[in-house]
Amino acid sequence: MISKEEVKHIAKLARLEISDKEIVKYQKDLSSVLDYIEKLEKVNVSGVEPTSHPFFIENVVRKDEVLNKKDTGKLRDMAPDKKDNYIKVKSIFK
């Protein structure tokens, strides 16, 4: 079973606010999945390269020029808080 401190630490890394009640719930949920995942310990992977993608992929490049300007305003307007042409965020320091 992973500890309450570990759950709190992961939540902090993931930037999730969770309540004390949820900490206990996630402790149980995450542990049951992690216990299941433990079966991978039995697999011998010595000399095996990792796969991050099902098939071979290659970089796709193009000239760095503006292709679609019409969406810019629309996308900017979706920000919850803005001022003039800028997206506004809360202060970083208290």
Partner 1 sequence: MKLEELTIEQTAEGLRKKEFSAVDVCKAYLDKIKKDNKNIFAYLLVDEKGALAQAEKADELISKNKGSILTGIPVAIKDNILIEGLKCTSGSKILENYVAPYDATVIKKLKESGVVFLGKTNMDEFAMGSSTENSAFGPTKNPNDLTRVPGGSSGGSAAAVANDMAAFALGSDTGGSIRQPAAFCGVVGLKPTYGSVSRYGLTAFASSLDQIGILTKTIKDSEIVFKSISGKDPMDSTSVDLPVIKDKFNLKDMKIGVPKEYFVKGIDAKIEKEVKSAIKKYEDMGAKIEEISLPNTNYALAAYYIINPSEASANLARFDGIRYGFSSKEAKDLLDVYLKTKGKGFGPEVRRRIMLGTYSLSSGYYDAYYLKAQKVRSLLKKDFEKALEKVDVILTPTTPIFPFKIGEKVEDPLSMYLVDIYTVSVNLVGLPAISIPIAKVDNLPVGLQIIGKPFEESKLFYLGKAFNGKY
Task: Check residue 23 for interaction with partner 1 (CB under 8 A).
Answer: no
- The token duo for 89 is 């965020």
Q: Which of residues 53-92 bind partner 1 (CB under 8 A)?
A: 53-55, 57, 59-60, 62, 71, 74-75, 78-81, 87, 89-92
Alpha helices, H only, the chain? 4-13, 20-37, 71-77
Q: Does 30 bind partner 1 (CB under 8 A)?
A: yes
CA angle 35, 37, 43 (to 5 degrees): 125
Nearer to partner 1, 16 or 24 (CB): 16
Classified as helix, coil or strand, 14 is coil
Burial class (CB in 10 A: 0-12, 13-18, 19+), 21: exposed
Total residues interacting with partner 1, rule: CB under 8 A = 48
The residues binding partner 1 (CB under 8 A) are 6-7, 10-11, 13-18, 26, 29-30, 32-34, 36-37, 39-40, 43, 45, 48-55, 57, 59-60, 62, 71, 74-75, 78-81, 87, 89-94
